[in-house]
Structure 1
Amino acid sequence: MCTFITLFSHSAFANTKITSTRLWAGPEYTRLTLESDLPINYTLDTLNNSRRIILNLEGVTLTPALESLPGKVDAKDPFIRDARVERSRPQMLRLIIGLKMNAAPKTFTLDPMDGFGHRLVLDIYPPEQAAISNKKEDPLMALVQEFETRVPTKNNSHKPPEGLSTNLDRNARKPSKNYIVAIDAGHGGKDPGAIGPSGTREKDVTLAIAKKLKARIDKEANLRAVLIRDNDYFLPLEERRTKARRANADLFISIHADAVPRLQVRGSSVYALSENGATSTTANWLAKKENESDLIGGVKLDNKDHYLKKTLIDLSLNATINDSIKLAGNVLSAIGNINPLNKRNVEQAGFAVLKSPDIPSILVETAFISNPNEEEKLRSETYQDKMANAITAGIKRYFSSNSGFARTEVAQSE
């Protein structure tokens, strides 16, 4: 017996492009999200006793994002055994999901919002929980749950290399993964950031280090970097996060070289987001100072992060913060080899630029530009190169220790 559900949302012949795929496995259900530029016209087939779910995607183009989905299935997923994509006829793709046990699927859609495109969401529940889950979807809860689909879990945030062939051979070896690192050069344009005793502007130093960091990361076989700001212009903090999401970034690294009133303060430090207050007075002071960047650009803070405020109670952000702390610890250890540390532990505070609920994000204070000796370092290409090398080493260590296949895919030489 076959259950056949049909939902139509636009012309079957439109070339709908899947821009992102996300897979989140929890103890009670698994969630698959397909994000696209246009609404997806689809049908859902569930075959009794076959332990398969089939999503028929009409008018959908086979993109690298969709090709990458089978590689995101985690062996520890309680429901999904495997996944594959087939071309069943010229205008139809089939996403076939193999199950480990009998399960009940549920689908719903979400309209574009806050940088997200159209989303088709498939939830897979145990049969006994399906009836409970089929209650009418609460719009706010749908927004909250959407962030759960974007939690980085093992294997679910890895992107394929650009330029993958669109000819999918499901028997071929899975393509190696590229890890995308978004590099955010702090400040820019009408926001110069901190200014050193000799007139060095933070925005210039951060851009110089960011470009060197990108060049260094791009030399790694399975790492690729994108610059959030590639020239001297202003970007609101929220737009920096949005650009990282559009790039399908796996990590977000914000580069800074701040100042404090006491000129003798020196050293490097690394910060992660905190929901529950800062870990030190300095961390709190720096976060407030960095968050004021939007005031320079005329951004209204009262409406800022409205979407995120609705979801801060969600555990998904906590999971991302935990990953951010792991990343920060690896980077902190690496940069401690080239410059004294201002704080020997990872610090946390409410940095607005780090509030991506799905991307591990850290802020690196490369040195204090307010200290005359460190200002001179920051102006030095030699120091900038060393800082880029150290941050890259920390990123590689993070991937090596937090991904089962990263150990073989990310080069170990530093």
Structure 2
Amino acid sequence: MKKNNKQFLSCAGLTILWFFSALSYASNQVQSIRIWPSPDNTRVVLDLSAAPEYKSFSLDKPDRLVIDLTNTNGSAALPAINGESKLIKAIRSSGDNNSMRIVLDLTNAVKPTVFALTPTAPYGHRLVIDLPDDNARLTREPPRSIRAARDIVIAIDAGHGGEDPGSIGPTGTYEKNLTLPIARRLAELIDKEPGMKSLLVRTGDYYVHINRRTDIARSMQADLLVSIHADAFTSPQPRGAAVWVLSLRRATTEVGRMLEQTERHGELLGGVAEVIRDSANERYLAQTVLDLSMNHSMVTAHQAANQVLTELAKITRLHKAQPQAASLGVLRSPDIPSILVEVGFISNPQEEQQLRNSSHQARLAQSLFTALKRHFQQAPPADSLFAQQRSREHKVQAGESLSLLAQRYDVSVDALRSHNKLANDSIRIGQVLRIP
């Protein structure tokens, strides 16, 4: 009887051992593969059933990136691949019951970044592969001439994107799918206005790193960065729009970080760096320039934020009636005036539905455009077309008539009347007329 018990226990132990061993063979699995291309980077995301155990390395002749996944079922074929990129020729795999090798065949050599992400709704465990495209770098615009009237450049940042959905509404609306259409509508309005030009930080559904967003704006010498978001809270009650600006503490911190990066002083100092060769003095000059730039940027951002709040109040409820200061990542650049506009609470059921409505999105874009145009009409950059147009103003003196002024400025009376929205030819002393 004791012998039978020993045989039973031995068999039971082997069975349990086999059971747990079998479990270990399939503890992880690649569930899907998503490719998110952007103008200068491609992100590949492997969705996994558990946290990945991995290592990666690159090979050349031909160029490849190899991802080795251990404790992963590699006996099944790769799942369907969603998306494509000019950097990736093909994705293939090999493996067995306990390991998987995934190979990305590339069109050229890259310096990849591979990292794991923990679950964040709506995604589970992920392995992310970032492939920078060195052949698609943004080219910096040539230095501006103070004599040439230029367009005012507005960088428009549609919050989140690609792998980062942002906040999620009660019915499953992704924040990233609301911010992009509003950004595109705003860009269209800006580009139709003489003297203004838009720059979309992201043009499609892909992820742009927070630091890269301000770098893109700087590379195009943007006069203002507007980041569009939708707010969220743990309860559904909060609602309304708000505008955020950079906090003084964050701005001071960022200036300090920039000063530590000596190799960036030339970029931050602009043309001044060409005549400064004394490295001992460069830091002090950079400190002065950045402090002045920071003060100007923060004042400009506050002024623009107030104009935006004035316009938003006409079409939607305000959550905060005054600009709010915060250490938000996209506002990190003290040398570029930046504002972050929360167009409403996606976590509020009524506002979620409102934000999904294309007509409401159009009204939001129009209100932002009206506010930004008014801001730059009141405080235009000195070398801009807006500044040139503002300088063509005339204060009516005694004895002057509309026909006399039309003759003096070589314009027609009709054009002068229309440009100033005059009902007739009557003008008064002290009246300021804009000259078309």
Bigger fraction of residues in helix: 2
Higher RCO (C-alpha under 8 Å, 6+ residues apart): 1
